[in-house]
Amino acid sequence: MLYAPQMLLAVQTVHEERIVHSDLKPANFLLVEGTLKLIDFGIASAIQNDATSVVRENQVRQVYASDEEHTTSW
């Protein structure tokens, strides 16, 4: 089954509610009884009523790496 149409519909529905999710990735879609659900709105933001576009000046993504990943044993 192709899930792309459900993903697009989920994003469209969120945008119609004037919300920007800000973290769209496959891991933020959950399959519930055969239907995809968009989850994790932790960094979502509302779109102002008079806005015609959304611009993010600084979107910094922090990446965590364990100590084991930083050490190399040769």
Q: 14-48: per-residue pLDDT in tens?
A: 888 888 887 888 998 999 999 999 888 777 777 77
Residue 53 — very low, low, confident or very high, per pLDDT cuts 50/70/90? Answer: low
Please report, for the chain, how many H helices and E strands are present, in that order. 2, 4
Q: Which residue has the higher pLDDT, 61 or 26?
A: 26
Alpha-carbon distance of 61 to 59, in angstroms, equals 6
Alpha-carbon distance of 37 to 30, in angstroms, equals 5
Catalytic residue check, 23: yes
- According to DSSP, the β-strands at 35-38 and 29-32 are antiparallel
Q: Which amino acid is at 29?
A: F
Q: Which amino acid is at 7?
A: M
Candidate list 23, 40, 50, 67, residue with the active-site label: 23
**pTM for the whole structure:** 0.61
**Topology of the domain covering 4-69:** Transferase(Phosphotransferase); domain 1 (1.10.510)
Q: Which residue has the tokens 């993010």?
A: 56
